[in-house]
Structure 1
Amino acid sequence: MSQNKLKTLDQVLEGLMRRYKERVPDVQKIIHAMMDKRIIENETDIENDHVAFRTMGVPQLGIQSLEKIFLHYGYVKRDYYHFEAKKLDAYWYSPPEDKYPRIFASELRVNDLSERARNIIHYYTDTVKADPVKELDLDNAAQVDHYLHTGLWRTPTLTDYETLLDESEYAAWVIFNHYYLNHFTISVHNLPEGFNTLETFNEFLEAEGIKLNSAGGKIKESADGKLRQSSTVAGKLLAEFADGKEREIAGSYVEFAERKVLDAFKDVPSDQIQRKHRRDGFETGNADRIFESTYRTQTDR
């Protein structure tokens, strides 16, 4: 991978994170608390395990469009995941170098929704007549950054938003938030002893007043016990809709991941463990519950 492409990727990720922090107060609250407790010396000590995007499965958009950006920068498409109840598909992408976050991209199976919900979604997204990523200069970081923070379709009315909300909270989130970063993820396993398990890190978070997603338990664990995840509950944003009406809606959230060392590398000294020695990829059961960080069952409790 050329250094120029990696430099562009650096700038794109920086733009994503800058706006994400502005929209999610818990990010800076957690980082500052970690520094106050001397868990980290500065923000760059945090390993970003992965970032996540939500998309609409409609012509010209969805994963097939968004992924072109990151494949251009050397990401490699990996495993497929299906979430039957939530009507979602997803893939994860491994980065060109270990210093970069993995990417998790999900997509709403719009055709699986009711006719009413489908009609609302298409009313907005059908204004996108061609794959917009094909029109981008992917070597121009400013252009890509602007695209990821610009509405691809009109802002919905409050009525349309609430109609979608009643059928698919995921659909409602995407119709308003577009491609805003859904979450970034702190790699807990790389933190100092005493904070490098989810049990101890969650205890620290809750002592700081951080509200955690309780769906399926605060810690979601893969069947092999090697991937453990927690997340905050999404904070609420005051959103203004196309008809001038306002209401609070779910924004983005912060995730925390603990990836355990694979059995094949159990004898590797702890100071020599690298990303390749740990459990990779994702887990459908974990992710299914993490999605609910933006759902009313969590944000309203």
Structure 2
Amino acid sequence: MSATHRLETLDIVLNGLMRRYKERVPDVGVILNAMMANGVVPSADNIENDHIAFRTMGVANLGVQSFEKIFLHYGYEKRDHYFFEGKKLDAWWYSPPRETDPRIFVSELRVNDLSEESQRIIRSYTDEVTADPVDALDLDNGAEVDAFLHQPLWRTPTVADYKSLLLESEYAAWVIYNRYYLNHFTISVHNLPEGYNTVAAFNEFLEKNGIRLNTSGGKIKVSPDGGLLQSATIAEMINAKFANNEHLEISGSYVEFAERKILPQFQNIPPAEITRRHRRDGFEAANADKIFESTYTTQTGK
């Protein structure tokens, strides 16, 4: 498999993820249309996708050790680990093969850290996966991988199980229903024109266009070094069909915004020459901790 073919396959997978995500998250269209209508960008293709994120269950045959095989195959490299004690999560980020590709952030629920009842509920579903499903994929077939990322891994949950998990771990409830569905994509605001190229200015623009923002930890989440600023919308509510034909409004996906400052050692480089490598890279656990809550009832119920 040539490097060129791998990158072409990656494009199929990324395009498939974004296509379905836009269909499911109306805020994406509202934001992109407002950006074009206001002359911020000539087309959606001019927006840099800073990163995309996925959520997984830390159980046998699943979790990060399974999921990451897909993107490692396309040339992504595993980077830093983050631990979220309160939310009982581990996460890693992956740097892309090309500067034009999004970084990837994958989190995993530490299922063994939950109560016995929540573990029992989760395993009643995930035990249906008896072998690592990624091992059965032809990773050089973009359409097959795209389909896999949008297909159920276990049976549709019951409303009762969803609500039970929601009480202990809103993350667990989100994954039991949404599975590998794309959790969010992220607009790099620092590459936008003057007046829109900071998270503060872009938040104002969003709110003028009726977009509601996650307020957990403040509307702007700032890393201790000041180099990474992030904000996010509140997840869209979706009318979800559960087992036994029951329906419930639950949180779906959301949109994130990131501003990566130029690193101190590159401050004197002319703006036109600044590339991704000149800016603050990676992630920040404290920021991410609050952004996870974009799907939580404390935000969606406001």
TM-score, length-scaled by structure 1: 0.99
Q: How does 1:63-74 map to 2 (within 5 A)?
A: 63-74=64-75
**Which letter does structure 1 place at the counterpart of 2:86?**
A
Partner of 1:165: 166
Aligned mates of 1:250, 1:243 — CA distance in 2? 20
Partner of 2:255: 254
Aligned mates of 2:281, 2:154 — CA distance in 1? 35
Partner of 2:62: 61
Residue by residue over 1:17-43, the C-alpha shift from the partner in whole angstroms, topping out at 9 and shown as x without a partner, is 010001100001000000000000001
Aligned mates of 2:101, 2:225 — CA distance in 1? 25
Aligned mates of 1:284, 1:31 — CA distance in 2? 28
Partner of 2:122: 121
Q: What SS does structure 2 have at the residue aligned with 1:184?
A: strand
- The farther-off stretch of 239-248 and 185-194 is 239-248
Q: How does 1:198-277 map to 2 (within 5 A)?
A: 198-277=199-278
Q: What SS does structure 1 have at the residue aligned with 2:120?
A: helix
Shift of 1:291: 0.1
**Which letter does structure 1 place at the counterpart of 2:264?**
D
Partner of 2:145: 144
**Which letter does structure 1 place at the counterpart of 2:272?**
D
Aligned mates of 2:142, 2:271 — CA distance in 1? 37
Aligned mates of 2:111, 2:179 — CA distance in 1? 15
Residue by residue over 1:186-238, the C-alpha shift from the partner in whole angstroms, topping out at 9 and shown as x without a partner, is 00000000100011100000000000000000000000000000000001000
Aligned mates of 1:218, 1:270 — CA distance in 2? 27
Q: What SS does structure 2 have at the residue aligned with 1:129?
A: coil
Aligned mates of 1:131, 1:45 — CA distance in 2? 37
Q: What SS does structure 1 have at the residue aligned with 2:140?
A: coil
Residue by residue over 1:98-157, the C-alpha shift from the partner in whole angstroms, topping out at 9 and shown as x without a partner, is 000000000000000000000000000000000000000000011101100000001100
Partner of 1:36: 37
Residue by residue over 1:24-69, the C-alpha shift from the partner in whole angstroms, topping out at 9 and shown as x without a partner, is 0000100000000000000100000000000000000000000000
Aligned mates of 1:33, 1:24 — CA distance in 2? 15
Partner of 2:47: 46
Partner of 1:87: 88
Aligned mates of 1:7, 1:293 — CA distance in 2? 32
Shift of 1:160: 0.3
Q: How does 1:188-207 map to 2 (within 5 A)?
A: 188-207=189-208
Q: What SS does structure 2 have at the residue aligned with 1:11?
A: helix
Aligned mates of 1:239, 1:37 — CA distance in 2? 34
Q: What SS does structure 1 have at the residue aligned with 2:128?
A: coil
Aligned mates of 1:271, 1:154 — CA distance in 2? 51
Q: What is the aligned-residue identity percentage? A: 66
Shift of 1:245: 1.1
Shift of 1:243: 2.0
Aligned mates of 2:46, 2:18 — CA distance in 1? 15
Shift of 1:90: 0.1
Aligned mates of 2:51, 2:200 — CA distance in 1? 20
Partner of 1:14: 15
Name the count of aligned residue pairs: 301
Root mean square deviation, CA, Å:
0.5
Runs of 4+ more than 6 Å apart: none
Q: What SS does structure 2 have at the residue aligned with 1:243?
A: helix
- The farther-off stretch of 238-247 and 283-292 is 238-247
